[in-house]
Amino acid sequence: MKGTLWLAWRQQRALILTGAALLLAVTAWVVVMRTGMTGFISSHHIPTSTCKGWDGDCESEAARTLLDDYNGPLRALGSLSTALPVLIGIFWGAPLLGRELESGTWKLALTQGVGIGRWFTTRYALAAACTVLGSAVLAALVAWWWSPVSNMLNGLYWHDGYIFNATGPAAIACALFGLAAGTAAGLLIRRTLPAMAAVLGAVVAVRFALNSFRSDWISPQLWISQGDAPRREVGSGWSTGEFGFVDAAGRRHAIADACPWGEGLPDLKTCMAQKGFTGRYRTVYPSSDFWTFQWIETGIFLGLAAVLTVLIAYVLRRRLL
Amino acid sequence: MIAFRIDRRSGVATYLQLVHQVRQALRLGVLEPGDRLPTAREVVEAVAVNPNTVLRAYRELEREGLVEPRPGRGTFVRRSLARPAAAADSPLRAEAAAWVGRARAAGLEREDIAALAASVLDDSFPPPEPPPPFIPAPRPPQTHTHTQEEDT
Amino acid sequence: MTDDPTTALRATRLGRRFRGGWALRDCDFALPAGRITALVGPNGAGKSTLFHLATGLLRPTSGELRVFGAEPGTPAARDRTAFLAQDKPLYPRFTVDDTLRFGRELNSDWDQASAERIVRAGNISLDARVGALSQGQATRVALALAFGKRPDLLLLDEPLADLDPLVRIEAMGLVMAEVADRGTTVVMSSHVLSELENACDHVLLLKHGAVRLDGDAQRLCDSHLRITGLADPATDDGLPPDVDRAGVVEATLTGRQVHALLRHSDWSPGAPWIVENPSLEDLLLAYLRSDSTPGTSSTSAEAAA
């Protein structure tokens, strides 16, 4: 390695090697766990492919044991992958410029033969490459382990935070955002420790906001069942929790208990007829929306990362002091 | 070879301290004709003074005919200052001792005698020759104006 | 003018403002090449700001600064300049060998042999971790890094601060040896005026962000007079009436004695005055103490001389 790349490697190699070792250990653990899981599935003949959804056609003691045994570890892996952007922001982004500014070594680096542009670009690019690689491996491990038991019975579903935030392109984009946020915090705050705290707050806040507003990005599908036929099962979809009745004009009435039943009450059919309802509905995001949500959030995270990177470049160009 | 030392508080110009130390070494026989003086680099690395100060001292010694530069090889001692006339058992010293004894008998203090000697020496050796180092002079006035040669 | 090869660092109406106000303002000076300039001034006078401007780590708010005619921070200027910042930053987790490699990798012209020679001369192992070095050893490594770059202009911000007396001489000796070998131009700030006196042959004195004194050290001493004598009862300041008051740098009246530093004075006193040229330290101290600057006209005359 030559020039600024050598410097970037020399300064980040402890992080890179530690990260690689941890990733290797996690991979080994996942391989062992997943092998055990698939062994359990095949030895107990659990039909996982027909088992999707809450009403999956595989209710059995073995299936319940399977999920009881593996939901916890899968959640742990999902949590790790979800936390990765924060960890990268804290341990990689914040010190990337923050420690240089804090210790004064930026004066050493920037008074040598190379310019500030090349110095920063190389170290940032190396950190970004490692971030993409690390988060992609973790996201792939989550997807790989989860796939045999995905969207199954009371297991983990695609819209659960443990899965949605932990895998897919959005997880990688979020890690890049964490790096950019940490780097920007280190540059603007100029001290590593406060920058670490700031990036922790920033990434968690953005994550929380996105999780809260996720269902606002796109409209759910409207599932109508005519007459008093039972509502269509949610299956592996993501119910918004909104359901009710539709009238002849197609208007929706989100009152689930408009026609309660019980002792002395009219039956459902009569009640609906009395109130002019012609059918029942619920709104659901089908599992295919996973990718729509993923790409939307990927775009948001990449956009935020890009804005922060431009901000960093702008501040650096205007000089650091 | 000779090792220099600088007294930063003496008030004597640094280049003169170097000149004096070479003269002293020549008197004591520490340096003999043909010996090489340390290079400017060697001197400044040891005593942390401006290299021009060393060059100036060597120019002064060269002007006095004590040393000569040999291009590419260094600065070499040309002649010795070891003089039998100044030795401990020389008649001159005995005369000086007798003179000092008379001065004390006349009631002069040590400083008065030194000042008297310095004044006579000043008359005999007009500036820019500075007073010999063995006369303690607390911060002598730098009355002479330095020439422009080293200022360019 | 700007291409004058005998000028290493030239400032033209140079100014730099921070949120707190002007750190440097309207500074004009030209530091000669091949000389060792003492940059002197009280804390907050703008010395570090000037160093940061000269290395391109800061940009001027007004005016300009040129390093051998090039704008600081450009490749042309960066290649010729080495800077030792006040806190002597080094990467604490690097070994000494890594630190020298850092210099080699980031500079096109790198003298590994002399950098290693400087390190070895201090009995420092190349495998030692920088964070484990003593302050003196770290200074030596930092200087090796600066010299390995083969700079034409070496900027040293308080290089002797925090060093014990032996290491001070060692560090200064290293710098002087480099100057003797390569004719490097050095600009060095320090509060230790007595050390500057032996090392420096040019002076730039800053106070309150402005140039107060700029010129050849010897000529400055020669052009000033330190006078001591019996106060003249007829004047307020005790100085004889024929002394040009515009050239009085400082005057202290203590009882019947008056003690003053005069600039550019051809005043020749009557017998009772003790008149001598000040030492450089004495001169600098007088300027550092005095707040009543007698104009700047003669200061710029000194710079032009």
- pLDDT tens for A100-155 read 999 999 999 999 999 999 999 999 999 999 999 999 999 999 999 999 988 888 88
Q: Which residue is closest to C174 within chain B, CA to CA?
A: B45
CB neighbours of residue C199 within 10 Å: 26
Q: Is residue B143 one of the residues assigned to a domain? A: no
CA–CA min distance B17, chain C (Å): 12
Query: Which residues in chain B are closer than 8 Å to C33, comparing Cβ atoms?
Result: none
Q: Which residue is closest to A109 within chain C, CA to CA?
A: C106
CA–CA min distance C79, chain A (Å): 5
Q: Is residue B77 one of the residues assigned to a domain? A: yes
- Cβ atoms of C260 and C250 closer than 8 Å: yes
Eight-class DSSP state of A92: I
Q: What is the pLDDT of residues A284-294, one digit of tens each?
A: 999 889 999 99
Residue A219, token pair as written in the block: 């409209």
Q: Taking residues A255-277, what's their average pLDDT?
A: 78
Number of A/C CB contacts below 8 angstroms equals 72
pLDDT of residue A130: 97
Query: Which residues in chain C are closer than 8 Å to B40, comparing Cβ atoms?
Result: 180
Q: Is residue C116 one of the residues assigned to a domain? A: no
- Looking at the fold, whether C80 and C197 belong to one and the same domain comes out as yes
Concatenated DSSP letters of A142-177 = HHHHHGGGTTBTTS--TTSHHHHTTSHHHHHHHHHH
- Looking at the fold, whether A183 and A195 belong to one and the same domain comes out as yes
Confidence of residue B87 (pLDDT cuts 50, 70, 90): low
End-to-end CA gap in chain B: 30
- Looking at the fold, whether C194 and C242 belong to one and the same domain comes out as no
- Looking at the fold, whether C173 and C248 belong to one and the same domain comes out as no
Between A225 and A185, the more confident residue is: A185
pLDDT of residue B150: 40
- Looking at the fold, whether A150 and A267 belong to one and the same domain comes out as no
Number of domains into which chain C is organized: 2
Query: Which residues in chain C are closer than 8 Å to B75, comparing Cβ atoms?
Result: none
Between A270 and C212, the more confident residue is: C212
- Looking at the fold, whether B47 and B4 belong to one and the same domain comes out as yes
pLDDT of residue B75: 92
Q: Taking residues A197-207, what's their average pLDDT?
A: 96
Concatenated DSSP letters of A123-144 = HHHHHHHHHHHHHHHHHHHHHH
Q: Taking residues B54-66, what's their average pLDDT?
A: 93
Q: Is residue B17 one of the residues assigned to a domain? A: yes
- The percent of residues above 90 in pLDDT, for chain A, comes to 64
Q: Which of B18, B47, B49, B152 to mutate to test the interface with C (most CBs of C within 10 A)?
A: B49
Neighbours of C, requiring at least 3 CB pairs below 8 Å, are A, B
Q: Which helix (H) or strand (E) holds C140?
A: helix C135-148
- Looking at the fold, whether A26 and A142 belong to one and the same domain comes out as yes
pLDDT reading at B7 higher than 80:
yes
Q: Is residue B144 one of the residues assigned to a domain? A: no
pLDDT reading at C109 higher than 70:
yes
Q: What residues have CB less than 8 Å from C177, skipping those under 6 apart?
A: B41, B44, B45
- Whether chain A has a CB inside 8 Å of the CB on C147: the answer is no
The Cα angle at residue A76 between residues A74 and A185, in degrees rounded to 5: 130
Residue C223's alpha-carbon distances to A42, A140, B119, C14, C267, in angstroms, are 100, 79, 26, 27, 11
pLDDT of residue C246: 84
Of the segments A54-68, A151-165, A228-242, C70-84, which one has the largest average pLDDT value? Answer: C70-84
Q: Taking residues B20-41, what's their average pLDDT?
A: 90
Q: Is residue C159 one of the residues assigned to a domain? A: yes
Domain edge (last residue) among C217, C248, C264? C217
- Looking at the fold, whether C180 and C295 belong to one and the same domain comes out as no
Question: C262 lies in which domain range?
Answer: 223-304
Q: Is residue C109 one of the residues assigned to a domain? A: no
Q: Is residue A177 one of the residues assigned to a domain? A: yes
Query: Which residues in chain C are closer than 8 Å to B149, comparing Cβ atoms?
Result: none
Domain edge (last residue) among C180, C202, C217? C217
- Looking at the fold, whether C170 and C82 belong to one and the same domain comes out as yes
Q: Which residue is closest to C219 within chain B, CA to CA?
A: B151
State residue A281 phi and psi, 5-degree precision.
-140, 165
The answer to whether the CB atoms of B141 and C172 lie below 8 A apart is no
Q: What residues have CB less than 8 Å from B106, skipping those under 6 apart?
A: none
Pick from B8, B48, B151: which is nearest to C218 by CB?
Answer: B151
Find the chain B residues whose C-beta atoms sit closer than 8 A to any C-beta of C: 6, 8-9, 11, 14, 39-41, 44-54, 141-143, 145-146, 150-151
Q: What is the mean pLDDT of chain A?
A: 91
- Cβ atoms of C224 and C281 closer than 8 Å: no
The answer to whether the CB atoms of B48 and C219 lie below 8 A apart is no
Query: Which residues in chain C are closer than 8 Å to A112, comparing Cβ atoms?
Result: 78, 102-103, 106-107, 149
Q: What is the pLDDT of residues C41-53, one digit of tens each?
A: 998 899 999 999 9
- Cβ atoms of A234 and A54 closer than 8 Å: yes
Query: Which residues in chain C are closer than 8 Å to B50, comparing Cβ atoms?
Result: 36, 176, 179, 198-201
How far is A159 from A296, CA to CA, in rounded Å? Answer: 14
Q: Taking residues B61-89, what's their average pLDDT?
A: 84
pLDDT reading at C71 higher than 80:
yes
Confidence of residue A248 (pLDDT cuts 50, 70, 90): confident
Q: Which residue is closest to C179 within chain B, CA to CA?
A: B51
Q: Which helix (H) or strand (E) holds A242?
A: strand A238-247
Is the alpha carbon torsion for A244, A268, A53, A67 positive or negative? positive
Is the alpha carbon torsion for B25, B30, B33, B38 positive or negative? negative
The answer to whether the CB atoms of C89 and A7 lie below 8 A apart is no
- Looking at the fold, whether B89 and B111 belong to one and the same domain comes out as yes
- Looking at the fold, whether A163 and A306 belong to one and the same domain comes out as yes
- Looking at the fold, whether A254 and A144 belong to one and the same domain comes out as no
Pick from C57, C105, C108: which is nearest to A107 by CB?
Answer: C57
- Looking at the fold, whether A269 and A205 belong to one and the same domain comes out as no
Q: What is the pLDDT of residues A15-53, one digit of tens each?
A: 999 999 999 999 999 999 999 999 999 999 888 877 888
Indicate which CATH number applies to the domain containing C189: 3.40.50.300
Domain edge (last residue) among C217, C250, C267? C217
pLDDT of residue B134: 43
- Looking at the fold, whether B48 and B107 belong to one and the same domain comes out as no
User: Scanning the structure block, which residue is given the tokens 């009995």?
Assistant: C123
Q: Is residue B152 one of the residues assigned to a domain? A: no
Q: Is residue A223 one of the residues assigned to a domain? A: no
How far is A84 from A92, CA to CA, in rounded Å? Answer: 11
Eight-class DSSP state of C143: H
Distance of CA C219 to the CA centre of its chain: 16
How far is A301 from A306, CA to CA, in rounded Å? Answer: 8
Is the alpha carbon torsion for C212, C217, C219, C224 positive or negative? positive
- Looking at the fold, whether B108 and B71 belong to one and the same domain comes out as no
pLDDT of residue A39: 94
Q: Taking residues A184-207, what's their average pLDDT?
A: 96
Q: Taking residues B70-74, what's their average pLDDT?
A: 89
Q: Which residue is closest to A114 within chain C, CA to CA?
A: C106
Confidence of residue B147 (pLDDT cuts 50, 70, 90): very low
- Looking at the fold, whether C64 and C163 belong to one and the same domain comes out as yes
- Looking at the fold, whether A280 and A308 belong to one and the same domain comes out as no
- Looking at the fold, whether B67 and B97 belong to one and the same domain comes out as no
Q: Which residue is closest to A99 within chain C, CA to CA?
A: C91
Pick from C173, C198, C276: which is nearest to B14 by CB?
Answer: C198
- Looking at the fold, whether B66 and B5 belong to one and the same domain comes out as yes
Question: B106 lies in which domain range?
Answer: 84-138
Eight-class DSSP state of C13: E
User: Could you tell me where the beta strands, DSSP code E, fall in chain C?
Assistant: 7-18, 21-32, 36-40, 62-67, 81-84, 153-157, 185-189, 202-207, 210-216, 224-230, 248-254, 257-263, 274-276
Q: Which helix (H) or strand (E) holds A279?
A: strand A277-285
- Looking at the fold, whether C231 and C292 belong to one and the same domain comes out as yes
- Looking at the fold, whether B24 and B44 belong to one and the same domain comes out as yes
- Whether chain C has a CB inside 8 Å of the CB on A64: the answer is no
- Looking at the fold, whether C251 and C189 belong to one and the same domain comes out as no
End-to-end CA gap in chain A: 30
- Looking at the fold, whether C210 and C230 belong to one and the same domain comes out as no
Number of domains into which chain B is organized: 2
Q: What is the CA radius of gyration of chain B?
A: 17
Q: Which residue is closest to B39 within chain C, CA to CA?
A: C180
- Looking at the fold, whether A257 and A194 belong to one and the same domain comes out as no
The Cα angle at residue C220 between residues C219 and C222, in degrees rounded to 5: 60
State residue C257 phi and psi, 5-degree precision.
-100, 135
Q: Is residue A130 one of the residues assigned to a domain? A: yes
pLDDT of residue B133: 43
Chains A and C touch (3+ CB pairs under 8 A): yes
Q: Taking residues A170-183, what's their average pLDDT?
A: 97
Q: Taking residues B137-142, what's their average pLDDT?
A: 42
- Looking at the fold, whether C151 and C276 belong to one and the same domain comes out as no
- Looking at the fold, whether A281 and A177 belong to one and the same domain comes out as no
Find the chain C residues whose C-beta atoms sit closer than 8 A to any C-beta of B: 36, 168-177, 179-181, 194-195, 197-201, 216, 218-219, 221-222, 274-277, 279
- Cβ atoms of C141 and A108 closer than 8 Å: no
Number of domains into which chain A is organized: 2
Exposure string over C85-102, b if 16+ CB within 10 A, otherwise e: bbebbbbeebbbebbbbb
Question: A8 lies in which domain range?
Answer: 3-216+289-317
pLDDT reading at C136 higher than 60:
yes
Q: Is residue C64 one of the residues assigned to a domain? A: yes
pTM of the model: 0.83
Q: Which of A229-233, B102-106, C9-13, C118-122 has the lowest mean pLDDT?
A: A229-233
Q: Taking residues C251-274, what's their average pLDDT?
A: 80
The answer to whether the CB atoms of B45 and C176 lie below 8 A apart is yes
pLDDT reading at C232 higher than 50:
yes
- Looking at the fold, whether C211 and C283 belong to one and the same domain comes out as no
Pick from A6, A103, A107: which is nearest to C105 by CB?
Answer: A6
Q: Is residue A263 one of the residues assigned to a domain? A: yes
Q: Taking residues A296-301, what's their average pLDDT?
A: 96
Torsion of CA C39, C43, C46, C51, to 10 degrees: 60
Q: Taking residues C83-108, what's their average pLDDT?
A: 95
Q: Which of B5-9, B122-126, B138-142, C202-206 has the lowest mean pLDDT?
A: B138-142
How far is A119 from A129, CA to CA, in rounded Å? Answer: 16
Q: Taking residues C22-40, what's their average pLDDT?
A: 94
The answer to whether the CB atoms of C177 and B143 lie below 8 A apart is no
CB contacts under 8 A, C 90-129 vs A, are: 90-94, 98, 101-103, 105-109
Indicate which CATH number applies to the domain containing B34: 1.10.10.10
Q: Is residue A34 one of the residues assigned to a domain? A: yes
Q: Is residue A212 one of the residues assigned to a domain? A: yes
Q: Is residue B150 one of the residues assigned to a domain? A: no
- Looking at the fold, whether A243 and A103 belong to one and the same domain comes out as no
- Looking at the fold, whether A272 and A128 belong to one and the same domain comes out as no
Confidence of residue A260 (pLDDT cuts 50, 70, 90): confident
Confidence of residue A176 (pLDDT cuts 50, 70, 90): very high
pLDDT of residue C305: 35
Q: Taking residues A212-237, what's their average pLDDT?
A: 84
How far is C167 from C189, CA to CA, in rounded Å? Answer: 17
**Angle, in degrees to the nearest 10, between helices A168-189 and A289-317:** 20
Q: Which of A12, A105, A107, A319 to mutate to test the interface with C (most CBs of C within 10 A)?
A: A107
Q: Which helix (H) or strand (E) holds A283?
A: strand A277-285
How far is A143 from A158, CA to CA, in rounded Å? Answer: 10
The answer to whether the CB atoms of A113 and C107 lie below 8 A apart is yes
- The percent of residues above 70 in pLDDT, for chain B, comes to 80
Q: Taking residues C33-42, what's their average pLDDT?
A: 94
- Looking at the fold, whether C202 and C59 belong to one and the same domain comes out as yes
pLDDT of residue B93: 82
Q: Which of C158, C163, C92, C180 is nearest to C130 (CA)?
A: C92
pLDDT reading at C302 higher than 50:
no
The answer to whether the CB atoms of B44 and C179 lie below 8 A apart is yes
The answer to whether the CB atoms of A112 and C107 lie below 8 A apart is yes
Q: Which residue is closest to B40 within chain C, CA to CA?
A: C180
Q: Is residue B15 one of the residues assigned to a domain? A: yes
pLDDT reading at C293 higher than 70:
no
Neighbours of A, requiring at least 3 CB pairs below 8 Å, are C
- Looking at the fold, whether B37 and B102 belong to one and the same domain comes out as no
Q: Which of C19, C102, C110 to mutate to test the interface with A (most CBs of A within 10 A)?
A: C102
Q: Give the CB-side neighbour count of residue C170, counting CA atoms within 13 A.
A: 19
pLDDT of residue A244: 86
- Looking at the fold, whether A12 and A90 belong to one and the same domain comes out as yes
Q: Is residue B151 one of the residues assigned to a domain? A: no
pLDDT reading at C35 higher than 90:
yes
Q: Is residue C106 one of the residues assigned to a domain? A: no
- Looking at the fold, whether B14 and B45 belong to one and the same domain comes out as yes
pLDDT reading at C231 higher than 80:
yes
